[in-house]
Amino acid sequence: MTNIRIIEKVGNNPGKTTIMITGVHGNEKVNVKLFDRIIPELRIDNGRVVFLYANLEAIEQNKRFIDINLNRAFIRELLDDEDNKLLEVQTAREIIPYLDNADYLLDLHSSNSPDSKPFVICEPQSFGLAKSMPCGLITFNWDEFEPGSTEYWMNLQNKVAMGFEGGYLGDSASGLRAEEALMNFLSLTGNINCAIRRVPNKKFLRIVSLYKNKESSFGKSREFADFEKLKEKTLIGTEGNKKVYADKGNILLFVRDREELDQECFLIAEEIDKENLLNIKEQDNLFKGGK
């Protein structure tokens, strides 16, 4: 029994293979509806585009996941464990052949938080395409702290891959952003011929740390906006009797209460200026042998 749905569209001319994914988190229905609406109408000019609905069971039950987060399941140790029958691990095994045969990946997401901002998740080899996404934030260095996403798997192969977070799933603008991201992406990969509306003045944020609760449940001290930049040293929350602080200038992402141990409580990012960003891109090119 499969837990994915595949729709392929092929152009009349040769070109690259692009995979577009929705439903990695089954309760993010806005992008599932986008696929349902746009696929019948979309004409591919060059190459091949694979539209993949992931985690059909989670979509059906309107749950983020059934057993584990599918966006943490693309880990070799999990995949190679033949005794691991968790639904999302089996689903990752189904998806991987499509990732391995693709040149590009765009994985569409949305947020349950009403105050969430749209942003891109990628690594430096994907900055060129990321600059044309309909948002003001490009984030990178996630793989070091949160491995196991579809982008992570593609990054291991030095391919261009990104996740696009369109914003709050209850906001109609989220679906419109996702559609624009999809069309811009396919235009830049050469699969379709259409104009691109570029969003200037991008900010680049590097993820620098992830806090997990190791000894007790974690409770946040207050509500924090995603990408909130701290004006002073701030109490973020408590883990049992331990107070957890972040420093002035830190940028916070996804501060969450956690009852179970070893959970992701929050991340910290830093803004990268243009000069340091160029150094990062040069180092990335050197690492890849100039490709």
Q: Supply the CATH number for residue 77's domain.
A: 3.40.630.10
Do 168 and 213 sit in the same domain of this protein?
no
How many C-beta neighbours within 10 Å does residue 86 have? 16
- CB burial string 161-196: b at 16+ within 10 A, e below: bbbbbbbbbebeebbebbbbbbbbbbbbbbbbeeee
Task: Return d(Cα 177, Cα 1) in angstroms, integer.
Answer: 33
Residue 40, pLDDT above cutoff 60 = yes
State the pLDDT confidence band at 279, using cuts at 50, 70 and 90. Answer: low
Residue 288, pLDDT above cutoff 90 = no
Residue 207: what pLDDT? 97
Do 80 and 13 sit in the same domain of this protein?
yes
Do 153 and 17 sit in the same domain of this protein?
yes
45 domain residue, yes or no: yes
Q: Domain range spanning residue 222?
A: 207-270
Do 19 and 140 sit in the same domain of this protein?
yes
Average pLDDT over residues 197-211: 90
Do 58 and 182 sit in the same domain of this protein?
yes
The number of distinct structural domains making up the chain is 2
Residue 282: what pLDDT? 54
278 domain residue, yes or no: no
Taking only the tens place, the pLDDT of each residue in 86-139 is: 999 999 999 999 999 999 999 999 998 888 899 999 999 999 899 999 999 999
Share of the chain above pLDDT 90, in %: 86
49 domain residue, yes or no: yes
In sequence order, the 6+-apart residues with CB closer than 8 A to the CB of 26 are 55, 57, 58, 59, 60, 61, 62, 63, 64, 65, 66
Do 182 and 240 sit in the same domain of this protein?
no
Token pair 């740390």: residue: 209
Do 99 and 144 sit in the same domain of this protein?
yes
State the pLDDT confidence band at 273, using cuts at 50, 70 and 90. Answer: confident
Reading across the β-sheet that carries 160-168, which strands appear in turn? 5-10, 46-53, 13-22, 104-111, 160-168, 119-122, 137-140, 203-212, 264-272, 251-253, 228-229
Do 173 and 220 sit in the same domain of this protein?
no
Q: Are 164 and 150 in contact (CB under 8 A)?
A: no
280 domain residue, yes or no: no
